[in-house]
Amino acid sequence: MTEPQTQTQTITAPDGTRIALHRMGAGRPVLLFHGLFSSAQMNWIRFGHAALLAANGFECIMPDWRVHGDSDAPTDPALYTPGVLVRDALHIVETLGLDDYDLVGFSLGARTATSAVIAGLTPRRLVLGGMGIEGLSNWQKRSAFFVDMIDRFDSIERGDPAFLAKSFMQQQGIDPVAARLLLTRGVEDIALADLARITMPTLVLIGDEDRDNGSPEKLRDALPEATMAVVPGNHMGSVTRRDMGQAILDFLS
């Protein structure tokens, strides 16, 4: 399969932050939100998920969150207030004029997709990958690991539980100052009662060894129209497997 060309454009958030937007394919729009310290390239393009969707009638629209990928990574604390990624998501949908589309998120992207739907986005179908219910409602506990990693960045050595996260962050070229601002100021908890407002068909998609964000079964049960699919891999590995792209395609099709 020949991989379709990826086109990249930039849109500017209301606060002046430039957001890179990568597009592949032509057809039904599907927004794909990547995970923490990752990018559209790493989560969706590198392992063939976007190409698979594009080959089956979808246009993949893949933003890089602020601090990530080809987007700006500002270090002004004023540009990180609770819900900033959700506002970026809403701005992307409004700027592109999307009204009939699907929405897929992995990890932080799934969390942001959940908040964005609660805030008013209305995709036809929703996929929440790498997410459990505790990952939605206990952000401080989840993010504390990464904040500690950033604070100890220069002293972390192989064998430290934070070594893999540090290495991935370095590999992806993430600015630690901007990342810390996003982690501590830009993300807020989701009220679990609000999950009842997510009424479109939803797929909770999880690796068979992934419980990094808590229980996917409890998340499925808390959503009005949700099913669950299991693919091979842990939190970092499942997104590298073709099984994940196929599960997304099967659900959206």
Query: pLDDT for 86-136, tens place per residue?
Result: 999 999 999 999 999 999 999 999 999 999 999 999 999 999 999 999 999
Cβ(117)–Cβ(198) under 8 Å? yes
Query: pLDDT for 139-174, tens place per residue?
Result: 888 899 999 999 999 899 999 999 999 999 999 999
Listed residue (227, 184, 196) closest to 81, CA to CA: 184
CA–CA gap between residue 173 and residue 55 (Å, rounded): 30
Write down the domain spans for the chain: 6-137+187-252
Q: What is the DSSP string of 78-98?
A: GG--TTHHHHHHHHHHHHHT-
Query: How would residue 82 be classed by pLDDT, with cut points 50, 70 and 90?
Result: very high
CATH of domain 6-137+187-252: 3.40.50.1820
- The pTM for the full model equals 0.96
